[in-house]
Amino acid sequence: MREPDMQKLDAFVNRLLGDIGAATSGALVILGDHLGLFKAMADGEPLTAAELAGRVGVKERYVREWLSAQAASDYIVYDERTDRFSLTPEQAMVFAQEDSPAFFMGAYDMIQSMWMDEPKVAEAFRTGKGLGWHEHSLCLFRGTERFFRPGYNNHLIDEWIPALKGMKEKLERGARVADIGCGHGASTILMARAYPESKFHGFDYHGPSVERAREAAKEAGVSDRVTFEQAPANQFAGQGYDLVAMFDCLHDMGDPVGAGRHVRETLAPDGIWMIVEPFAHDTLKENLNPVGRVYYSASTMICTPASLSQDVGLGLGAQAGEMKLRKVAMDAGFHHFRRATETPFNMVFEVQA
């Protein structure tokens, strides 16, 4: 038996203690979101447990324990002198403000789905059959929209669209756009609000998500220029699109090359296929970092099983990297592939025939 280095073992155990603390705290973060506790603290006013319980309409003893856990996680501030708790402006942006570019609650919804769906993924490991997106728990669909929406709000209109050659001007004049894998329609609606002269068509194979997207379009007042239809990525309707967009979904597809061929058939002669994918380098070693840790985990539980459940089952994974994505585009018949811009969490590619 190999002898362990006790100092290294202690350091590893201490790191795991932090990870276990984060994992157990995650359930309480979701609880606070569902009960409205964070939002009730968003104004930054220091509150006792009783005052917060009164604001939300729940029992003080539970709130006291929840607040103590959040303070131990350094997710909220505790003032021993007054026995009050508060959110800093930064903490409020992360936990309480839905329109904040740093809003993080969607990530916790997605993590919840991973825990809930672990038995299903374990069975996929054994059989190799995969696990379809539609087979996951409902919190995944809500969480995905809430997780990606802040990034789209922060970057899509001001950075990503202008990075595509001539696209901003086309959309301002009036263009036809297809948003493939649109989910709850956050990206589609955001573009429709920014470019009222253009027409937008969202497509997703998941029927309940399409229904929710239609409701969201009505709520946003853009139903006059947005439609949502249920369709897979290789069969969506329409021709002559000036822009076909895929936001964080190409790697989930069983046959991304086939989807790309269909995109090529539906694009206008000078149209652009915009591919937005999770940020990744081309080698595993380069991706062994905090962002890669999150994306590989999500890919194991969600993205790769989704791809393997479909025809072809290419299984790109959420850390495919530019080289693999470029090959998909080239195999689909495109000749122009350019990284237009990037963020710490996303890569944006401009693809043309």
- For the chain, the structural domain boundaries read 6-95, 105-352
Nearest to 149 by CA among 115, 110, 177: 110
The low-confidence residues of the chain, meaning pLDDT below 50, are: none
Looking at residue 229, its amino acid is E
Could you tell me the two tokens for 8? 């290294």
Q: What is the pLDDT of residues 104-114, one digit of tens each?
A: 999 999 999 99
Residue pointed to by tokens 């590989």: 296
Residue 196 to residues 160, 190, 192, 335, Cα–Cα distance (Å): 18, 11, 6, 31
Give the whole-angstrom CA distance, residue 28 versus residue 34.
Answer: 10
Could you tell me the two tokens for 75? 């997710």
Q: What is the pLDDT of residues 198-218, one digit of tens each?
A: 999 999 999 999 999 999 999
Give the whole-angstrom CA distance, residue 252 versus residue 24.
Answer: 28
pTM higher than 0.85, yes or no?
yes
350 Cβ partners below 8 Å, 6+ apart? 163, 164, 165, 272, 273, 274, 336, 337, 338, 339, 340
Nearest to 352 by CA among 241, 253, 278: 241
Specify whether the CB–CB gap between 230 and 172 falls below 8 A: no
Specify whether the CB–CB gap between 311 and 129 falls below 8 A: no
Residue 41 to residues 6, 46, 54, 70, 184, Cα–Cα distance (Å): 44, 8, 12, 13, 28
| Angle formed by the axes of helices 6-35 and 105-116, nearest 10° | 110
The CATH superfamily holding the domain 105-352 is Vaccinia Virus protein VP39 (3.40.50.150)
Give the whole-angstrom CA distance, residue 320 versus residue 138.
Answer: 26
Q: Cβ atoms within 10 A of the Cβ of 215, count?
A: 13
∠ CA(220), CA(98), CA(223), 5° rounding? Answer: 10
Phi/psi at 18 (nearest 5 deg)? -65, -40
Give the whole-angstrom CA distance, residue 142 versus residue 188.
Answer: 16
Specify whether the CB–CB gap between 32 and 70 falls below 8 A: yes
Per-residue model confidence (pLDDT) at position 1 = 81
Fold match, 6-95 / 105-352: no
**CATH match for 6-95 among 1.10.3720.10, 3.90.550.10, 1.10.10.10, 1.20.120.1630:** 1.10.10.10
